[in-house]
Structure 1
Amino acid sequence: MNNTAPFQLPLGVSLRDDARFENYMTGANGLPCAMLKQAAEGQGELLLFLWGSHGVGCTHLLQAACHAAEPFRRAAVYLPLSELLHLGPGILEGMEHLELVCIDDVQLIAGNRLWEEGLFHFFNRIRAQNNRLVVAADRAPRQLGINLPDLLSRLSWGMVFQLHPLPDEDKERALQLRARARGFQLSSEVVRYLIHHASRDMGDLFELLERLDRASLSAKRKITIPFIKQEMGW
């Protein structure tokens, strides 16, 4: 199946426009990024499993892979189980014909018999089609608490990568990169202030950056340290 854009689900699920490889600071995660780019091109491993704590970029990279599939006319879909779990595993029917399927938050199916069996059968169907599957979770396969042994073995079939948090100097560059993607500049002093006064979790820092961006647009002011102190009450 070929298409010019990611496969669209009528479920209110969409890709963030800024969730692209060029907007991701790789740090120590260069190899999984390279493998994901290969998957988007229809190359490399049929199964990739990414895991890591909140804020390391699993969701960003899964969505980036779907975006990256577009120029290669490969049909791709992003499935966040945090939003779709209640629909049941029937949503996977027929998706084995897509060239790239990215399933996020797979830890949420642990102990759910219907989902565990449904995902197991989907693994078999997509593999039979020689299409690519990327799965992400907040922990390694053996730590998920999956009850179905056959599914647990499938999750470890391909390459398994832990995504590592960025050191502070890379966090600074990542925040500046995200700011430029949103159309504004952040000074090094402002970035260091944010990192040392807010959560060091990148997901939380990006959410804070979006909040400050909206506030600065509303106030028609630049994001400076005095502005941050006023907005955040620090």
Structure 2
Amino acid sequence: MTRDPASVDTDVAQLPLDLRLRDASRFVEYHAEANRIARDTVESLGRNAGLSQPQVYLHGPGATGKTHLLQAACHVAHERGDRAAYLPLAELATAPPAAVLDGLERAGLVALDDLAAVVGSPAWDEALFGLLNRLRDAGCRVLLAAPEPPDDMGATLPDLSSRLGWGPVFRLEPPEEEDLRRILVDRARRRGLEMPDAVAAYVLRHQRRDVAALLALLERLDLAALAEQRRLTIPFVRDQLARSAAD
């Protein structure tokens, strides 16, 4: 469960984890034009901007930004003074469901990530069914994320599938080349680096087009540029990619 800065009461759940939101998980950092409507809807939910259905379900393959959007909504909720809880269920699946979920209706926003890690377990399905009912009765906003749409999650309770789809359901698409270029340039800027468009284009031609892989490469380039006091140029990046391939 998220602690300070975006937290619920410490007695909401007793877990041996201190799970924090990534600072870079902000709406301004999310670049995927194909997912603009989903992004805007999640931001409206985070801001409590009067959506008719206070629940949003995101699904799609990895590296489409589901976690990013859930955490960005929690950041926004916190900035408004709301209590927000972000739960990566893949990391919490071995805990008793009650220890994870009980008391969450006291939060203004609850974001449940990695639903596929627990849905299909009878104990978890019962607990999630009860939680979603409590959250709706309490007027909480709810964000849900999984690889599959609600009906394909394999829930042991048919009523859970219907509750997972209570609000808008969006499929997120992978970022396109221009989206990836903007991600690289913006993240480099956050690190105090200037990445010219030509360098970003070179990276995209020679590196796997996966957000996680690109950001891992950017971290290596940042460390190497600092150690060698170099700027991000095509020759420098070419040399770093060659060194990585040789390792």
TM-score, structure 2 normalization: 0.87
Cα distance, 1:224–1:159 mapped onto 2, change above 3 Å: same
- Partner in structure 1 of residue 55 of structure 2: 47
Q: Does 2:19 align with 1:13?
A: yes
Q: How far is 1:143 from its partner?
A: 2.1
What is the CA–CA distance in structure 2 between the aligned matches of 1:180 and 1:212, rounded to whole Å?
13
Give identity over the alignment, percent: 39
Q: Does 2:36 align with 1:27?
A: no
Alignment-mate amino acid for residue 59 of structure 1: T
Q: Deviations over 1:46-69 (max 9, x none)?
A: 110011111111111111101111
What is the CA–CA distance in structure 2 between the aligned matches of 1:31 and 1:159, rounded to whole Å?
11
Q: How far is 1:193 from its partner?
A: 1.5
SS in 2 for 1:126: helix
Q: Does 2:67 align with 1:59?
A: yes
The match for 1:213 among 222, 233, 244 is: 222
What is the CA–CA distance in structure 2 between the aligned matches of 1:212 and 1:33, rounded to whole Å?
29
Unpaired runs of at least 5, structure 2: none
Which stretch shifts more, 115-124 or 138-147?
Answer: 138-147
SS in 1 for 2:93: helix
- Partner in structure 2 of residue 114 of structure 1: 123
Work out whether residues 40 and 74 of structure 1, in 8 Å CA contact, stay in contact via their aligned partners in 2.
Answer: no
What is the CA–CA distance in structure 2 between the aligned matches of 1:196 and 1:170, rounded to whole Å?
14
Matched length: 231
Alignment-mate amino acid for residue 65 of structure 1: A
Unpaired runs of at least 5, structure 1: none
What is the CA–CA distance in structure 1 between the aligned matches of 2:231 and 2:129, rounded to whole Å?
51
Work out whether residues 114 and 146 of structure 2, in 8 Å CA contact, stay in contact via their aligned partners in 1.
Answer: yes
Q: Does 2:199 align with 1:190?
A: yes
TM-score, structure 1 normalization: 0.91
What is the CA–CA distance in structure 1 between the aligned matches of 2:229 and 2:122, rounded to whole Å?
52
- Partner in structure 2 of residue 144 of structure 1: 153
- Partner in structure 2 of residue 100 of structure 1: 109
Q: Does 2:89 align with 1:81?
A: yes
Work out whether residues 51 and 58 of structure 1, in 8 Å CA contact, stay in contact via their aligned partners in 2.
Answer: yes
What is the CA–CA distance in structure 1 between the aligned matches of 2:124 and 2:163, rounded to whole Å?
14
Runs of at least 4 residues off by over 6 Å: none
Which stretch shifts more, 172-181 or 100-109?
Answer: 172-181
1:128-167 pair list within 5 angstroms: 128-167=137-176
